[in-house]
Structure 1
Amino acid sequence: MNHIGVPVSDLARSVRWYEDVLGIAPNGVTISATNPAIGAVVEVENASMRASFALAGDNVLLELIQYDSPQPRPFTGRNCDVGVMHLCFEVDDLDAAHRDLVERGVHVNADPVVLQDGDGVEAGALAGTKILYLRDPDGIQLELFELPS
């Protein structure tokens, strides 16, 4: 995989948030495009966009994209809606990450959950894994994931 593109409403705010909150620093690569061919490729008529890239992990880039035209709609998807995806970031200490997120005022959906068999869960090979869902400034769902030690 080369990159994951995430449309955002305010590029500068999102770049700061992903760096400050998740430690994903921009790599200096930015692009802008107001070009009919680019618009055709992304199937957005009269597209005008700006994007910033950041290395997320060892070899996957995160592309944060702000469309200046046409005016984007706010994100309203739920995790169960077809086509809605989420980014998952592996952390070493989910409990510490949770405390940090709460202290920063980040929207955390609920307290961390440990995947264990029982109570309607069949964890299988992921038994003992801790998960946490949160939202970025645009309400986009993200997940933090701690593998069992």
Structure 2
Amino acid sequence: MNHIGVPVSDLARSVAWYADVLGIVPNGVTISATNPAIGAVVELENPSMRASFALAGDNVLLELIQYDNPRPEPFAGRNCDVGVMHLCFEVDDLDAAHRELVRRGVHVNADPVVLRDGEGVEAGALAGTKILYLRDPDGIQLELFELPDRPA
């Protein structure tokens, strides 16, 4: 995988939020485009967009994209809606990350959940994994994921 593109409503705000809250710092690569050929590729008439790239993890780029034309609609998708995707970031200590997110006033959907077999969950190989969902400034769903310690 090369990169994941995420349309946002305010590029500067999102770049700052992803850097400050998730530690995903821009790598200095930015682009802007108002090109009919690019419009054809993304199926938008007369698009105007700006984007900033940041390294997320060891080898995946996160591309935050602001379209100035056409004006985007606010994000309104639910996790169950077709086409809605979420980004998942692995953390070493989900409880500490949760406390820090709450301290910063970040929207956290609910307290962390540990995946365990039973009570409507068949966790299988992911048993013991902790998960947490949160939202970025545009309401886009993100997930934090802590894998359990496994005996060697």
3-state SS in 2 of match to 1:19: helix
Alpha-carbon distance in 2 for matches of 1:50, 1:86: 21
How far is the alpha carbon of 1:107 from its aligned partner?
0.2
Matched, 1:121 2:113: no
Q: CA-to-partner distance for each residue in 1:54-74, whole Å, 9 max, x for gaps? A: 000000000000000001000
Q: CA-to-partner distance for each residue in 1:101-135, whole Å, 9 max, x for gaps? A: 00000000000000000000000000000000000
Q: Match of 2:106?
A: 106
How far is the alpha carbon of 1:90 from its aligned partner?
0.1
Q: Match of 1:26?
A: 26
5+ residue gaps, structure 2: none
TM normalised by structure 2 equals 0.97
Alpha-carbon distance in 2 for matches of 1:26, 1:65: 13
3-state SS in 1 of match to 2:92: coil
3-state SS in 1 of match to 2:13: helix
3-state SS in 1 of match to 2:57: coil
Q: CA-to-partner distance for each residue in 1:23-59, whole Å, 9 max, x for gaps? A: 0000000000000001110111110000000000000
Two-structure CA RMSD over aligned residues (Å): 1.2
3-state SS in 1 of match to 2:18: helix
Alpha-carbon distance in 2 for matches of 1:45, 1:64: 20
Alpha-carbon distance in 2 for matches of 1:64, 1:22: 14
Alpha-carbon distance in 2 for matches of 1:36, 1:19: 32
3-state SS in 2 of match to 1:81: coil
Alpha-carbon distance in 2 for matches of 1:47, 1:142: 27
3-state SS in 2 of match to 1:29: strand
Alpha-carbon distance in 1 for matches of 2:104, 2:23: 14
Alpha-carbon distance in 2 for matches of 1:57, 1:118: 32
Which consecutive segments of 4 or more residues in structure 1 shift more than 2 A? none
Q: Match of 1:138?
A: 138
5+ residue gaps, structure 1: none
